[in-house]
Amino acid sequence: MKILKEVLIFIIFLSFSGIVNQSCQNTSRIDENTQLIEKLAQLNGVEFSTEQAEGKYKQVYQLMIEQPLDHNNPEGEKFTQKVYLSHLDVNKPVVLSINGYSANKNRISELAKLLDANQIYVEHRFFGDSKPDNYDWNYLNIEQASADYHHIVALLKTIYHGKWISTGISKGGQTTIFYRYYYPNDVSASVPYVAPLNFSAQDPRVNDFLKNVGTKECRDKIFAFQKIFLTNRDKLMPAFKKNAELKGYTFNLLGGIDLAYEYSILEYSFAFWQWQFVSCNEIPTRIDEPDKIMEHLNKVDCISFFSDESVNYFRPFFYQGLTEIGMYTYDTKPFGDLIKYAHNPSFKFTMPKGYENAPFNEKLMRSINKWLQNDSKNFVFIYGGNDPWYSTGVRLIKGKTNDLMMVKKGGSHRTRIKSFTLDEQKQILDSLNRWIKPD
C-alpha cells in the first residue's frame, strides 16, 4: 500500500506540474501576443487587424500602412498599402515576400517555410486595396515602389531582430531585384523567382527564344495548331464566341472579338511554354470538335488574358511593362496573310487613357543589369529553362559576384526551389543560411 501511495502521489505531482507548465506556456504566449500588439500599436501610420493564424504561425495580422504617393514629397498625397504579417518569433529571420500584383489573402511563401521565418507579405502599389485616390500613373514606377518596401522594412525592423530576406515571383521577382538596386543593404539576401529583366517594351529576345525552345517536333505541332486555328475561322469562330459568352469575356478594350481571336492564337506559343499546363501530346490536330479546341485554349490560358476584366485588373502591370519593366510582342511573319486584323500587335491598348504613347525608359533596365552583373551580392536567381521569361532573365558574369543562378532544365514559370534535385536544394539553402547567419 505504501508503494502504491507513493506512486499515486508521484502521478498527482506530474499532473499538477503539467497543468502548471501548460499554464505557464499559455501565460507566456498571451504575454507574447500582447507585446506584439503593443509594438504594432506604437508604429506611426499603421492600422492593423487580426487574421486567422495558419500552420505554424502563432499570429497573423493585416496591416494597412500609410505611404506617400510620392516619396520625394512625404507631406503630399497618401495612400494605404496592404501588408500581411505572419509571426513566429521576433528573433527569427524575416522573409519580405513581395507580390507584384494584388494580395487578396495571406500566402505563406516557399522560402518562409524552408527558413522557418516570419513573413511580411506585401501588395504592390496601385493594385487591390493599395490604390491611391489620385490615379497619377507617373507615380507607378519602380523607384517609388522600392521606397514603399524600404519604409515597411524600416518600420518592422523596430520589432524584428533577425536577418531579412526578400523574395517574389514573376513581377514580384522583378520588384525584388529593383528594390535591392535602390536599397541594397535593407536585406541580407534575395531570392527572385522567374523574374525577367527586359530591355524594351517589345523585347525581341522572347521571339528568338520561342523559335528554339523545346523540341522541333513540339514547336512544329504548336505552329500547325496555330495555322489550323487561323485557316478555319468559319468553323471555329462560333465556338470562340460561345466560349467567351460562357466565360463572361468581352474584348472591347482590345478592339473586338476578331482581334481577340487572333491575339489568343498568337499568345498560344508563349503561354504554352510559360505555364506548361499541357503537354505536346495534348495539342489538338483536328477541328471536328471545336468545343474541345476551346477547352484546350482555356487550359493553356491564352484567351482570358485579353478580356476587359483581365486588362482592367492587370493595367498597372501593363503600364509598368510599357514604361519601365518591359514586355514582348508577337511575330506575325510566319503566318503571312492568315493574319487579318492583328497586323502590328502590341499591348498599347492596355494603357491608361492619355498614356498610350508613354516612352519606355531603357536606360534604367540597363543600369540595373550592370549593377546585377558587377555589384550585387547574396542573390539566388530561380528560373525554368523552357519559360519564355527566362529568355530575358538575368545573366551573370562568372566570377563577378557571389550570386547563385539556378535554372531548372525544361522548367516553366512555375519553377520553385522544390523543383530542383535534393542536392541543388541543399546548395540553395546552404547559401541562404550562410548569408543570413546571425552576426
Q: In this structure, are 211 and 343 located in the same domain? A: yes
Q: In this structure, are 292 and 181 located in the same domain? A: no
Residue 33 within a domain: no
Instruction: Examine the pLDDT at 349 and tell me if it is beyond 60.
Output: yes
CA distance 434 to 303: 44
Instruction: Examine the pLDDT at 25 and tell me if it is beyond 70.
Output: no
CA distance 289 to 12: 75
Q: In this structure, are 125 and 252 located in the same domain? A: no
Predicted confidence band of residue 18 (pLDDT cuts 50, 70, 90): low
Torsion angle (degrees, nearest 10) of CA 332, 335, 337, 341: -50
Within 10 angstroms of residue 2's Cβ, the number of other Cβ atoms is 6
Q: What is the pLDDT of residue 1?
A: 42
The closest alpha carbon to 156, from 97, 107, 70, 215, belongs to 97
Q: In this structure, are 195 and 209 located in the same domain? A: no
Q: In this structure, are 142 and 171 located in the same domain? A: yes
Instruction: Specify the number of domains making up the chain.
Output: 2
Residue 6 within a domain: no
Q: In this structure, are 336 and 384 located in the same domain? A: no
Choose one of 325, 350, 375: the last residue of a domain. Answer: 350
Q: What is the pLDDT of residue 436?
A: 97
Predicted confidence band of residue 240 (pLDDT cuts 50, 70, 90): very high
Q: In this structure, are 245 and 309 located in the same domain? A: yes
- Domain of residue 300, residue span: 205-350
In the block, cell 497573423 appears at 60
Beta strand residue intervals within 69-182, DSSP E: 78-87, 94-98, 118-122, 164-169
Mean of pLDDT values over 429-439 = 95
Q: How confident is the model over 117-127, as pLDDT tens digits?
A: 999 999 999 99
* DSSP assigned state of 86: E
CA distance 253 to 399: 48
Predicted confidence band of residue 32 (pLDDT cuts 50, 70, 90): confident
Q: What is the pLDDT of residue 13?
A: 47
Q: In this structure, are 144 and 225 located in the same domain? A: no
Mean of pLDDT values over 399-410 = 97
Q: In this structure, are 333 and 403 located in the same domain? A: no
pTM over 0.75: yes
Q: In this structure, are 303 and 370 located in the same domain? A: no
Spatial neighbors of 408 by CB under 8 A, at least 6 apart, are 382, 383, 384, 385, 415, 419, 420
CA distance 142 to 181: 10
CA 206 to chain centre: 19
What is the bridge-based pairing of β-strands 94-98 and 118-122? parallel
Residue 17 within a domain: no
Q: How confident is the model over 176-185, as pLDDT tens digits?
A: 999 999 999 9
Mean of pLDDT values over 140-151 = 98
CATH number, domain at 116?
3.40.50.1820
Residue 38 within a domain: no
Residue 29 within a domain: no
Phi-psi region of 93 (alpha: psi -120 to 50; beta: other; left: phi over 0): beta
Instruction: Examine the pLDDT at 11 and tell me if it is beyond 80.
Output: no
In the chain, the percentage of residues whose pLDDT exceeds 70 is: 93
Instruction: Examine the pLDDT at 9 and tell me if it is beyond 70.
Output: no
Q: In this structure, are 193 and 209 located in the same domain? A: no
Q: What is the pLDDT of residue 58?
A: 86
Residue 4 within a domain: no
Spatial neighbors of 52 by CB under 8 A, at least 6 apart, are 60
Instruction: Examine the pLDDT at 414 and tell me if it is beyond 60.
Output: yes
Instruction: Examine the pLDDT at 19 and tell me if it is beyond 90.
Output: no
C-alpha cell at 432: 541562404
CA distance 328 to 199: 10
Q: How confident is the model over 353-362, as pLDDT tens digits?
A: 999 999 999 9
Choose one of 303, 324, 350: the last residue of a domain. Answer: 350
Q: In this structure, are 231 and 253 located in the same domain? A: yes
Choose one of 326, 350, 374: the last residue of a domain. Answer: 350
Predicted confidence band of residue 21 (pLDDT cuts 50, 70, 90): low
Average pLDDT of the chain, as a whole number: 93
Residue 212 within a domain: yes
